[in-house]
Amino acid sequence: MPLAGSQKLTDEVGYCVARIECDTPTGVQCGTGFFFAFQLENGKRSPCLITSRHVVHGARSGRFFITRKDADGRLQPQQPLECRIPDFEDKCHPHPDPSIDLVLVFAGASLQAIKAEGNDYHITYLSRSAILPREQRAELAHLEAVAVLGYPLGLWDPQQLQPVARLGITATHADLPYGGAPQFLVDAPCHPGMGGAPVFLCTPATAGEGSMPAQRSPGVALLGVLYAQRHAHLQGETGVEPLVGRMRAGRPVPPTPLPGPAPLGAVLSTDKILDFEPLVRAMIHGYISKY
């Protein structure tokens, strides 16, 4: 279900996000991913799952979870579908710039396997049309309302499978490269397990005056991908911590407390998502393996 506009995105945004679990030699790593459909030359779309590279680091196998749909089209969130991927890290394509904490997974084969087993699912795909255009991004204010959708360790609801939305504001301008890198900061709660979570600009409804109706519906637009939290020590030093969740024996591992003031979220700009387009085209033309 590709998205055509901000109102549609507002209605369906919870179904573009997936919880990711990875089996590693040291335990289970957890993070967030989101579905993105790249437009192909033949008019079709290539369904992909995008997340942070640190989420899948060392993953011998992995899985993501999506909402089941019954034969009548009714959603069955209490019976999620599990998509298992062996050799998960090997099947993730890293961003062409190794300093960018993003990977792409071609999800088509896993989704086709689910349908081949007689199951159906409900997914909302983000696409280029969901991204705030560059010229509009440049016109944003320094302080803008944002929402981060993900699966924070210990807070998400496994019975409903819906992501947790955390609200905040941009701490630096979304169109200015923080520290010279293609990223910006947000002042929003960022917990382990939210690495790879999409960050959306929240557009409130335009209020009408007197008897005049509102001129614009509330909506959201994709601004970037949360990958880490940046914190400052009292001594003035700074650090960056990946937002990966960890579990052992089925229980969350408490994160190490960070020193200094509350950390800020580090968000990669949407330009880095679009950097994957040449990779997707190369896969479609058979120049590289989708695995």
What is the DSSP secondary-structure string of 8-31?
HHHHHGGGSEEEEEEEETTEEEEE
CA dist., res. 17 & res. 7, Å (int): 17
Closest CA to 218 of 50, 2, 5, 19: 5
- What is the pLDDT at residue 2? 42
- What is the pLDDT at residue 155? 79
- What is the pLDDT at residue 256? 67
Residue-wise DSSP of 87-123? TTGGG-EE-SSTTS--EEEE-HHHHHHHHHTT-EEE-
Closest CA to 22 of 77, 57, 59: 59
| Cβ contact 188:149 at 8 Å | no
CA dist., res. 5 & res. 290, Å (int): 29
- What is the pLDDT at residue 212? 43
| Cβ contact 228:201 at 8 Å | no
Q: Could you tell me the sign of the dihedral formed by the alpha carbons of 174, 175, 176, 180, in that order?
A: positive
- What is the pLDDT at residue 287? 57
Question: Tens of pLDDT along the chain (291 residues)?
Answer: 444 344 555 678 889 999 999 998 888 899 999 999 988 777 778 889 999 999 999 898 999 999 999 888 888 888 889 999 999 999 999 999 999 999 999 988 889 899 999 899 999 999 998 999 989 999 999 999 999 999 998 777 877 888 999 999 999 999 999 999 999 999 998 888 899 999 999 876 444 444 444 433 447 899 999 999 887 655 555 667 767 767 666 666 666 666 666 789 999 999 999 999 988 888 776 655 555
Question: Would you mind telling me the total number of residues written for the chain in this entry?
Answer: 291
In the chain, where the domains are located = 6-128+273-284, 130-270
6-128+273-284 belongs to which homologous superfamily?
Answer: Trypsin-like serine proteases (2.40.10.10)
Amino acid at 72: D
- What is the pLDDT at residue 5? 44
- What is the pLDDT at residue 210? 47
- What is the pLDDT at residue 72? 86
CA dist., res. 176 & res. 64, Å (int): 33
